[in-house]
Amino acid sequence: MVWNWNLTQKEILLELIIKHNILKNTNMKKIILTGFIALSLLFSTTSCDSDDDHDTIINAADLPAPAGTFITTYFPNATYQTIKKQNRADNDGSIYDVFLTNGFEIDFDANGNWVDIDGNHQPVPVELVPEKIQAYVTTNYANQSVTSIDKEPTYIEVELTSTIELIFNLQGDFIRIDK
């Protein structure tokens, strides 16, 4: 039997039925039809999208106060391009995704604490990189800057100008190069 892989699940099932002449037996027709209807209902109900995954565009005034203060302190010349509020926190706890006109993307948790700073190949302000991590980068990767820093629940990940990703524990001790 040659399969046409561009067919939908329903078309494949019908093709099987037709090629094997299963429909000649009336009891078999009822069983196949019942199974086909049950599968169709199953696929249609599980494919419905939930509203939990949608983001809402918000204004800067809707950000928690610490997030606004953070932006004006460390990125005084940038303005807000887009601010999204997620209905559900990511694994790292981020709720707010802030996109600035200078190319930076900063994610904040519900309290306005930064969770992720992505400079899109631009150096993250040195004062935002934990001192121990900055010392490690300066010592081991001369002429490199941190272009992204991500605080996960159990580790901190930084990306360097060369796109090397380094993993540190929460105390700032080097663990490994991420592959």
Q: Which helix (H) or strand (E) holds 46?
A: helix 26-46
How confident is residue 51, by pLDDT bands cut at 50, 70 and 90? very low
Question: What is the per-residue pLDDT for 163?
Answer: 93
- pLDDT tens readout for residues 80-107: 999 999 988 887 778 899 999 999 999 9
- Kindly give, in sequence order, each residue whose CB lies less than 8 Å from that of residue 22, ignoring residues fewer than 6 positions away: 16, 28, 29, 32
In eight-state DSSP terms, residue 103 is: S
Query: What percent of the chain is modeled with pLDDT above 70?
Result: 70
63 burial via Cβ count (<10 Å: 0-12, 13-18, 19+): buried
Tokens found for residue 9: 């699940």
Strand arrangement, sheet containing 55-57: 55-57, 80-86, 94-100, 105-109, 114-118, 146-151, 156-160, 165-168, 174-178
- pLDDT tens readout for residues 121-174: 999 999 999 999 999 999 999 999 999 999 999 999 999 999 999 999 999 999
Mean pLDDT of the residues in the chain:
84
pTM, whole model, 2 decimals?
0.68
